[in-house]
Amino acid sequence: MKRQKLLVIKIGGNIIENQDALDSFLKDFSKIKGPKILVHGGGKSATQLASKLGVKTEMVGGRRITSSENLDIVVMTYAGLLNKKIVSGLQKYKCNALGLTGADANVIVAEKRPVQFVDYGYVGDVNSVNSKVIKGFLDLEITPIFCAVTHDADGQLFNTNADTIASEIASAMSKAYEVSLLYCFELKGVLEDINDKESVIEHIDLEKYKVLQKAEVIADGMLPKLQNCFEALQKNVSKVYIANAEFIKDKNTKCTTLTL
Amino acid sequence: MKRQKLLVIKIGGNIIENQDALDSFLKDFSKIKGPKILVHGGGKSATQLASKLGVKTEMVGGRRITSSENLDIVVMTYAGLLNKKIVSGLQKYKCNALGLTGADANVIVAEKRPVQFVDYGYVGDVNSVNSKVIKGFLDLEITPIFCAVTHDADGQLFNTNADTIASEIASAMSKAYEVSLLYCFELKGVLEDINDKESVIEHIDLEKYKVLQKAEVIADGMLPKLQNCFEALQKNVSKVYIANAEFIKDKNTKCTTLTL
């Protein structure tokens, strides 16, 4: 039986934290036909709120050390301000959006990241995604909008990386759908030369990934992103793209396609 | 055909803003059998956050004048912090809670309160409740948890009174269910004598309501609450109670029952 197609898109700060860019993205997103899921971060807004409240923000390897106070700020910003801005913005374009954390309808269960060298505090690693409940929403023609908050099913909320959430959702949904996963960010894709924004590597497979890693073309923030991509592919996601939001409007826009 | 029973409960600050009281309430709430809906406010937390952020809070007749900045604070507090605390707290007790604003799945559409003597800013009056979508969630054995935020279906979020949301949801759901509406607050019910907490008026009908109003027994904050109750009864809600949270645990606890 041919599986139905499902598109999972993750957007980051460059879109969320610019009102015009966000509105333009939501308009394009609403026009995508068929079932779709949106995942968003919002770290910059959380850091801004923390600063206004005089709460210290500490990052290690791009990840937020999440104290109890930081968690409240993350939940207020991601699940409150940003998620509801996106949901109401999509309703304007007749896309029937439903905002979710992992706690809502128990869709994503996580556990506290084990303390090795660093104690990240209330940061959760995903254990399971309830694909049945998410499919239930999609079957009602509802578009789930996930923010980067999960829970442990025992009363504790967690801050969880949005790229990882997108990858885990895409993987879990692959049981029932033919899933494409699209990471939208500020560039057009993975660059051969970081100083040349047009030097997009159009195709990366596992072998090329290792070569690029060794050559140190891929480094810093791009490493965990690519890791999420290949994990998703290994868990039966059909296609993964790293692209600019323009790609949603025009499929001919240059981007990076990833395959195993 | 006999309609299925549905319980709509509204809780206020006395429960939400005390961690122990909240946990105890959520435990009791999770044990209620059959379909149920929870509606919560959280004004005190919003005022506290506003104060920390140096944003002025202005109230007129118990209602918050909601500037754009205040709206962000309301959304962060109600839809973020408090709603997710409640949802994750219920998941702990195996109640499959789903947090909602009116924008999520387009469940409650409101319009800006018309400016007469006071411009309340981004305060919305409820126009319609999508009972079909809510029933869809209940049929999936999901328990909707509403915070006091609605939208205009055109991209604008609104701050909306939680008592009113509870009343409007109860009324809308009465098409498909036999609905009981319970307002939980700090006292055991409407008091005959404000200085005697045991002087609960056990039954108020429309006639008695008018008598009490004239005698000025009911005044201030209790007036709009009772108005919401009678509006719900007039719109086919079966039973309305004003009670303390203890009432959920023990149905023999004294409370005020309202009928037409």
Q: Inter-chain contact B88–A142, Cβ cutoff 8 Å? A: no
Which of these, A210, A191, A188, lies nearest to A260 by C-alpha position?
A: A210
Q: What is the pLDDT of residue A212?
A: 87
pLDDT in tens, chain B (260 residues): 678 999 999 998 889 999 999 999 999 999 999 999 999 999 999 999 999 999 999 998 778 899 999 999 999 999 999 999 999 999 999 999 999 999 999 999 999 999 999 999 999 999 999 999 999 999 999 999 999 999 999 999 999 999 999 999 999 999 999 999 999 999 999 998 889 999 999 999 999 998 988 887 776 778 788 988 999 999 999 999 999 999 999 989 999 999 99
Q: What is the pLDDT of residue A84?
A: 98
Residue B129, phi then psi, degrees to nearest 5? -120, 130
Using CB atoms, pick whichever of A75, A88, A140 lies closest to residue B103. Answer: A88
DSSP for A99-161, written as a single string: EE-TTGGG-EEEEEPPPSS---BSBEEEEEE-HHHHHHHHHTT-EEEEESEEE-SSS-EEE--
Q: In the predicted model, is pLDDT for residue A1 greater than 90?
A: no
| Residue B68 token pair | 């754009």
Mutate to test the interface with B, among A26, A72, A76 (most CBs of B within 10 A): A76
Q: What is the pLDDT of residue A219?
A: 67
A139 CB neighbour count, 10 Å cutoff: 11
- DSSP-derived 3-state class of residue B243: strand
Using CB atoms, pick whichever of B92, B103, B142 lies closest to residue A91. Answer: B103
Report, as an integer, the average pLDDT of A94-109. Answer: 98
> Chain A closest CA to B106's CA: distance in Å?
7
Are B197 and B221 in contact by the 8 Å Cβ rule? The answer is no
> Chain B closest CA to A139's CA: distance in Å?
11
Averaged pLDDT score across all residues of chain A:
94
**What's the rounded Cα separation, in Å, for the pair A189 and A254?**
8
Q: Encode pLDDT of A183-229 as tens digits.
A: 999 999 999 888 999 999 999 999 999 898 888 777 677 888 898 89
| Residue A29 token pair | 């997103």
Q: Encode pLDDT of A29-50 as tens digits.
A: 999 999 999 999 999 999 999 9
DSSP for A183-217, written as a single string: EE-SSSS-BSSTT-TT-B--EE-HHHHHHHHHTTS
Q: What is the pLDDT of residue A58?
A: 93
Residues of A in contact with B146 (CB under 8 A): none
Which of these, B127, B234, B252, lies nearest to B188 by C-alpha position?
A: B252
Residues of A in contact with B101 (CB under 8 A): 84, 87, 99
Which of these, A37, A72, A30, A13, lies nearest to A174 by C-alpha position?
A: A37
Distances in whole angstroms, Cα of residue A14 to Cα of each of A21, A80, A244, A247, B257:
8, 19, 10, 15, 53
Secondary structure in 3-state letters for A75-116:
HHHHHHHHHHHHHHHHHHCCCCEEEECCCHHHCEEEEECCCC
Residue A8, phi then psi, degrees to nearest 5? -110, 120
| Residue A233 token pair | 């592919």
Confidence of residue A14 (pLDDT cuts 50, 70, 90): confident
Distances in whole angstroms, Cα of residue A66 to Cα of each of A35, A71, A257, B244:
33, 6, 33, 36
Q: Name the closest residue on chain B to residue A151, using Cα atoms.
A: B88
- DSSP-derived 3-state class of residue B14: helix
Are B82 and B45 in contact by the 8 Å Cβ rule? The answer is yes
Q: What is the pLDDT of residue B42?
A: 92
Strand order in the sheet with B149-151: B124-129, B108-112, B149-151, B157-159
Mutate to test the interface with A, among B88, B92, B160 (most CBs of A within 10 A): B88
Residue with the two structure tokens 């604008």: B156
Amino acid (1-letter code) at residue A80: G
Domain ranges of chain A: 4-258
Say what percent of chain A tops pLDDT 70. 99
Q: In the predicted model, is pLDDT for residue A148 greater than 80?
A: yes
Query: Residues of B within the annotated binding site?
Result: 42-43, 64, 159
- DSSP-derived 3-state class of residue B3: coil
Q: Name the superfamily (CATH) of residues B4-258.
A: Acetylglutamate kinase-like (3.40.1160.10)
**What's the rounded Cα separation, in Å, for the pair B46 and B158?**
14
**What's the rounded Cα separation, in Å, for the pair A147 and A38?**
9
Kindly list the residues of chain B whose beta carbon comes within 8 Å of any beta carbon in chain A: 49, 52-53, 72, 75-81, 83-85, 87-89, 91-92, 96-101, 103-106, 133, 136, 140, 142, 149, 151, 153-157
User: In the beta sheet, which residues pair with residue B18?
Assistant: none
| Residue B75 token pair | 């959304």
> Chain A closest CA to B230's CA: distance in Å?
31
**The length of chain A, given as a count of residues:** 260
Amino acid (1-letter code) at residue B215: A
**What's the rounded Cα separation, in Å, for the pair A66 and A119?**
9
Confidence of residue A145 (pLDDT cuts 50, 70, 90): very high
Mutate to test the interface with A, among B76, B143, B154 (most CBs of A within 10 A): B76
